Amino acid sequence: MPRGGGREACVRALADFGIEISTDEMDRLARFLDLLLDANTRMNLTAVRDADAAWMRHVFDALTLLPILQQADARRVADVGSGGGVPGLVLAIVWPKATHLLIESTGKKAAFLRSTADALSLRSVEVRSERAESLAHGPLRESIDVVTARAVARLPILLELCLPLVREHGHVVTIKGEKAAAEVNESARALGTLRGAVTDCIRTPTGTIVVIEKVGKTPRRYPRPAGEPQKSPL
């Protein structure tokens, strides 16, 4: 890819995917990448250090979730394990009608998310430096329209972290890689226990989006305390 061509390649890929982003939004996304890559020189936020590559691997990849938010007319969105802000901050830039809760338990990363949201004037963003396992047993339980996640955990673990936050008939949407189908197959028990159902697997140029609908109330005992989902997945 020619130097400086990342933005243009991203715009073309988005158009091919049926997504149009305004020039103002693209400018704010460019500013987000600048802030991300600058902060990445001081802390580990992303393995992608090339700005051109980041347009596809971060911005385009995150924006493949936008049609799902649009179709759901999502007003409360949460991103579990937000890290460097992908997909959470990217989606907040292009879907301002929703409130966006970014959940990131690592303090330095949460501080980056807050400062970046402020720098981009993203007033719809709230950052919680807590674990999803704890938040899901409080007022946020079963209150979110769409929960997103990328590169957080294998699907059986991720479902226990995310589904308790989602309202009935809301959705968890996660971006997976080449092993998406295998992870879905591994998740039969977790889906049944937590009251979720996979409704779609969408291949994109950068991954596979797995869409899970919340089909009933999650039993109160889930999620289990921090660490247990990882040690003993459903």
Contact 175, 61 (CB under 8 A): yes
Q: Angle at CA 53, nearest 5°, toward 52 and 55? A: 70
Supply the range of the domain harboring residue 104: 1-74+83-129
Same-domain pairing of 124 and 233? no
Tokens of 218: 């999650």
**Could you give the CA distance from residue 44 to residue 232 in angstroms, rounded to a whole number?**
27
Looking at residue 151, its pLDDT comes to 84
Return the axis-axis angle of helices 23-39 and 6-16, rounded to nearest 10°.
Answer: 130
Q: Which of 100, 129, 158 is the last residue of a domain?
A: 129
The neighbouring-strand residues paired with 200 are 211
Same-domain pairing of 106 and 178? no
pLDDT in tens, 147-186: 999 989 999 999 999 999 999 999 999 999 999 999 999 9
CATH of the domain at 159: 3.40.50.150
Shortest CA distance to 156 belongs to which of 174, 144, 136? 174
Tokens of 79: 């991103």
Same-domain pairing of 116 and 5? yes
Per DSSP bridges, beta strands 76-80 and 99-103 are parallel
- Total number of domains constituting the chain: 2
Weakly modelled stretches of the chain, pLDDT under 70: 1-4
Looking at residue 5, its pLDDT comes to 84
Query: How much is the pTM?
Result: 0.94
